[in-house]
Chains A and B, each alone.
Chain A
Amino acid sequence: DADVTQTPRNRITKTGKRIMLECSQTKGHDRMYWYRQDPGLGLRLIYYSFDVKDINKGEISDGYSVSRQAQAKFSLSLESAIPNQTALYFCATSGGPGHNEQFFGPGTRLTVL
């Protein structure tokens, strides 16, 4: 079984719709991250969380919000989707200080028409 899972894996939606992407992990990690990946731009950090009560903005948080429902769950929401949010979205997890490697989920391909 995968340690980091994301749902849905693919989603097509229309401009203005609210979308939620979900991430779950069984690694027991405290730290969770959301990235988006665009062709030619690499991975960019949207939000990150170091525990259930901790939420931090990354470099491109505008137009997104997150919720850390439990240690194992971290959701990303697009309140009103727009076409330039079309991208591949990855969730990642890592352990505490000294455990630096991030483990990535399989990704969600989101298309906003």
Chain B
Amino acid sequence: GQNIDQPTEMTATEGAIVQINCTYQTSGFNGLFWYQQHAGEAPTFLSYNVLDGLEEKGRFSSFLSRSKGYSYLLLKELQMKDSASYLCAVNYGNNRLAFGKGNQVVVIP
């Protein structure tokens, strides 16, 4: 089976930086995705890491360490619209994704 672990919820202040962690144990690894999901809506793609290191894309950065089975998503300059669930997903082979339960981020003024 596939095991993806994320913390369930965190609260942060507008303008701050928040780091969302994800650890995984999977039968295969062909890359790790981060998705954002607002309540009742479809997940939308944020980032993709297949090699170790940091990928930066505007206010969002994602880091991967394959040897540690670990990734994090960094959200900078938090805005109210960033209040959402952030899903970590691992491609464990043949483009099948195993998802974590999601980390609910609540941004407060």
Contacts of B102 in A (CB 8 A): 42
A20 located at the interface, meaning its Cβ lies under 8 Å from any Cβ of chain B in the complex: no
B79 within 8 A of partner (CB): no
Q: Tell me the count of chain B residues lying within 8 A, CB to CB, of chain A.
A: 24
Q: Could you tell me if A101 and B48 are in contact, using CB atoms closer than 8 angstroms?
A: yes
B33-53 at interface with A (beta carbon < 8 Å): 33, 40-45, 48
Whether B42 pairs with A107 at a CB distance below 8 angstroms is yes
Q: How far does the alpha carbon of A22 sit from the alpha carbon of B89 in the complex, in Å?
A: 24
Looking at the assembled complex, report how far the CB atom of B71 sits from the nearest CB atom of chain A, in whole angstroms.
15
Decide if B42 touches A44 in the complex (CB within 8 Å): no
Q: 4 shortest A-B CB distances, which residue pairs?
A: A104-B42, A42-B101, A43-B99, A42-B99
Residues of B at the A interface (CB closer than 8 Å) are 1, 4, 30-31, 33, 40-45, 48, 87, 89, 91, 94-102
